[in-house]
Structure 1
Amino acid sequence: MPHRDLDPQLIDHAQGPAASDVVDLLDLLWQQARDTVTTTSVSTPQLRLMYLVDRNDGIRMRALGKLLRTAPPSVSRLCDRLQAAGFLERLPCPDSRREVSLRLTAGGRDHLERIRSERAATLTLAIEAMAQADRLALATGLAALQSAIAAPGRLGL
């Protein structure tokens, strides 16, 4: 049954599986974009770390570990690999000699931008195939979802 024919009472129960299906498809697209762009093998956890450092320039390794919900040795190994690839740099924290802050290198930022561009191009093709009303509904729904996810204290982001 097309989504337009769904009973509004049933939509709440249908959203979880439908959203999960979309996330699975997006995950495949993301992996394809990553594989298309990169000549350096960057794992999904490494890419996630790069996104977080990009959004939190100068983040301390301890804070990054909390965001990733990962033990410090694992975060350190991820950083080691990204630093070896030339995507990440570690800097001493000015107020604590025991802590390290993280920043993407120009190469790391360029790498993320290429992946984002590839993903945007793929999504643009899919969205262009949608009816105008569906595009507007998608934009409204995505804005609401982004607000819900980014709300302070929500989902640990």
Structure 2
Amino acid sequence: MNASEAATTGTRQEPTHAASSIVELLDVMWDHARNATAGTAAPGSTSQLRLMYVIDGEEGVRMRVVCHRLSSAPPTVTRMCDRLQAIGFLERLPCPDNGREITLRLTPAGREHLQRIRAQRDTMLHQAIENMTPGERGALAQGLAGLRAQLDPSAAPGDRLRATAGRNSAA
């Protein structure tokens, strides 16, 4: 590999490394936010929180759909559901059109817990973004929109904003 190819490869890897570093930092921040809300009976794992996010995204979602979205085996998801149901964050209901299937729904306490975590995260991000220059904020917004389009091509621009607005107005 010549110097030009090495420079090009390095240039392509820099954004990947930066994005990966941010993801790791956000993971730490999200754990911080989750732990900050642990005054109540909070789920003990990131996996349980991911399960709650999937269920929150679709009211009455079928257990098999959740297993697919989490890329987890049914027994694993069932154990997480057992724990969330035990602390009052989840309810399981029979599927209306197939008695052999189970649908999952967050309870009001589960939704409230997610709302507190999201508010804590939003506060952390808002504080960090406020300290950026307008140019940096614009570049961040543009870069994140491009990254999202590549990672989730099915998501229309603004879906996250609409979903957030819907959650905030439902509270």
TM-score interval (norm. to shorter): 0.7 to 0.9
Kindly report the root-mean-square deviation, in angstroms, between the aligned alpha carbons of the 2 structures.
1.5
Q: Cα deviation per residue 1:85-119 (whole Å; 9 max; x = unaligned)? A: 11111011011110000011111110000000000
Structure 1 residue 11: Cα displacement: 3.4
Q: Cα deviation per residue 1:119-150 (whole Å; 9 max; x = unaligned)? A: 00000110011111000011111122222222
Which of the numbers 55, 60, 63 marks the counterpart of 1:61?
Answer: 63
Q: Cα deviation per residue 1:56-103 (whole Å; 9 max; x = unaligned)? A: 211100111011111111100000000111111101101111000001
Q: Determine the structure 1 residue equivalent to 2:169.
A: none
Runs of 4+ aligned residues of structure 1 deviating over 4 Å after TM superposition are 7-10
Q: Give distance in 2, aligned partners of 1:144 and 1:52.
A: 23
Counterpart contact for 2:56–2:111, Cα < 8 Å: yes
Q: Cα deviation per residue 1:23-65 (whole Å; 9 max; x = unaligned)? A: 1111110000000012324110000000000012111001110
Q: Give distance in 2, aligned partners of 1:23 and 1:88.
A: 28
Stretches of structure 1 that go unaligned for 5 or more consecutive residues are 1-6, 153-157
Q: Determine the structure 2 residue equivalent to 1:77.
A: 79
Stretches of structure 2 that go unaligned for 5 or more consecutive residues are 1-6, 155-171
* Count of residues in Structure 1 that have an aligned counterpart in Structure 2: 146
Which of the numbers 100, 103, 106 marks the counterpart of 2:105?
Answer: 103
Q: Determine the structure 2 residue equivalent to 1:137.
A: 139
Q: Determine the structure 1 residue equivalent to 2:159.
A: none
Q: Calculate percent identity across the aligned residue pairs.
A: 49
**Range moving further from structure 2, 140-149 or 21-30:** 140-149
What SS class does the counterpart of residue 126 from structure 1 fall into?
helix
Q: Which has the higher contact order (CA 8 A, sep 6+)?
A: 1
Counterpart contact for 1:38–1:111, Cα < 8 Å: no
Counterpart contact for 1:61–1:101, Cα < 8 Å: yes
Which one-letter code corresponds to 1:91 in the other structure?
Answer: L
What SS class does the counterpart of residue 92 from structure 1 fall into?
strand
Q: Give distance in 2, aligned partners of 1:22 and 1:41.
A: 25
